[in-house]
Amino acid sequence: MQDIMPTWVGATAKQIARGVRRGDVSATQVLADHLDHVAKADVDLAAFRVVRGGGAVTEAEKVDEQEDLANLPLAGVPVAVKENTPVAGVPTWSGSAAVRTAVAEADHEVVRRLRGAGAVILGVTRMPELGLWGVTDDETAVTRNPWDLSRTPGGSSGGAAAAVAAGMVPIAHANDGLGSIRIPAACCGLVGLKPGRGVVPCQLGAEDWFGLAEHGMLSTTVADAAVGFQVLAGRAQSKLVPPQRLRVGVSLRSPVRGVSPDAPNRDAVAAAGRLLAGAGHDTVPADPVYPTSLGLKGIATWLAVAAADVRAAGIDRRTLQRRSRRHVALGEWALRRGYVREADRLAWREQSINFFADHSVDLLLTPALASVPPPAVSWSTRSWQANMLASIRYAPYNAPWNIAGLPALVVPVGRRPDGLPLAVQLVGPPGSELLLLGVAGQFEMASPWPRHAPGYPRVGTESPAIT
């Protein structure tokens, strides 16, 4: 019987960085293991737009040549970057050939910080056109969920989530304008933190999606989520501390009238409540008041961000997918009518911050999704209405916290009856990112989740990082 060589595929980012710093493995070998896995696994998943190959090898060699690796928290860690964020030497696709820009001359600031921490950029991951949808596909490929190839990994950071859930990279960069980190995290059984406003440099699109968009990371463990967040935020690495007794508000109320969580997602919230109680926290019912106007203005903003991005980039609207053309046209109308106003966003932010004081709660617990992820099909050829309804019906819980600019995190909690992962969302006041991660860490300790989808990673044996 032929011997199977051990591989670093499946190791966490922290394990890889520790191994590279100690000299147990080279960054070049770690990258080679992951490139081999990507070549096999991505045939089914279509998570990557571009795999950098030679460029990534050169980067890994530079890491190995550094004399002092002690201060590199991501030393030799293969990382993927979402395709709307400039990576030097690679086109910035933003979800389709119609909006692709030329090869980027310089890294985005968050990419620069990842490289500065020792990460190796393996490639860029797929997203829907302009990042507008909760599903990920275009005319070249349908990105699929490693947990169930017939389902979407979510959007807009769907490629990033599929890559991490399949072990193709231990962590991946993502960004979130209306749920685009948290929705894929929930679909793929990952930890996904959307930082609060102003914590991580954005510089995304025309106006950072009117302040709604944030950069973050997708990971399989809370420890990796914490490392990635602190790198992106430019902070010194500090260990998470289990939080003292908290009072957590619990709400099933949907921000979208007529949409409610299905039984598995209600059960996930109940399970999370038990985990909180087991960790010594108190839970109380506490429903945010979601005004009807919030939903209408939120949709208007969703439309307007597309129009603003297309206008700023000088894109010919006729080259876009049919669903995106309609979205941009309606966005231009919303902007002309004055339906997108900073004053409205600031009012909701103030109301959201006051929610915690008014209810005497430290955090808010909600479902992450309302129903099962939609099928993995060619949504890019379907109507605007079909795409809007699909996104809103399964993922109504995320967008309000972008409008408010508050930190929010998704953490896995169990499985659906069909085997897909379940998750919940935790929302906190400004500055609560590490608190949210600390609570998620308590969930992970009490009820560990599968770090990868069943059957992944498929290369080699158990990672030598575990020993």
User: Looking at the domain assignment, is residue 1 inside a domain?
Assistant: no
User: Looking at the domain assignment, is residue 89 inside a domain?
Assistant: yes
Residue 237 domain boundaries: 13-285+358-381+389-466
Are residues 95 and 143 in contact, defined by beta-carbon separation less than 8 angstroms?
Answer: no
Helices (H), 242-373: 263-278, 292-313, 322-336, 342-358
User: Looking at the domain assignment, is residue 156 inside a domain?
Assistant: yes
Amino acid found at 259 = V
Which H, E and C letters describe 223-276, residue by residue? HHHHHHHHHHCCCCCCCCCCCCCCEEEECCCCCCCCCCCCHHHHHHHHHHHHHH
Angstrom distance (rounded) from CA 239 to CA 380: 42
User: Looking at the domain assignment, is residue 203 inside a domain?
Assistant: yes
Backbone CA torsion sign across 221, 226, 231, 236 = negative
pLDDT, position 206 = 84
Q: What CATH code is carried by the domain that includes residue 427?
A: 3.90.1300.10
Q: Which residues are catalytic?
A: 82, 156, 180
Angstrom distance (rounded) from CA 421 to CA 110: 29
User: Looking at the domain assignment, is residue 324 inside a domain?
Assistant: no
Residue pLDDT, tens place only, 308-336: 999 999 999 999 999 999 999 999 999 99
User: Looking at the domain assignment, is residue 316 inside a domain?
Assistant: no
Residue 339 exposed, middle or buried by CB count within 10 Å (0-12, 13-18, 19+): middle
For the question of whether the overall pTM of this predicted structure is more than 0.95, the answer is yes
How far is CA 91 from its chain centroid? 21
Backbone CA torsion sign across 342, 347, 350, 355 = negative
Residue pLDDT, tens place only, 34-85: 999 999 999 999 999 999 999 999 999 999 999 999 999 999 999 999 999 9
User: Looking at the domain assignment, is residue 168 inside a domain?
Assistant: yes
Spans of the chain, pLDDT less than 50: 1-3, 459-461, 466-467
pLDDT, position 465 = 53
Quick one: which H or E segment has residue 161?
A: helix 158-165
User: Looking at the domain assignment, is residue 334 inside a domain?
Assistant: no
Total domains, the chain? 1
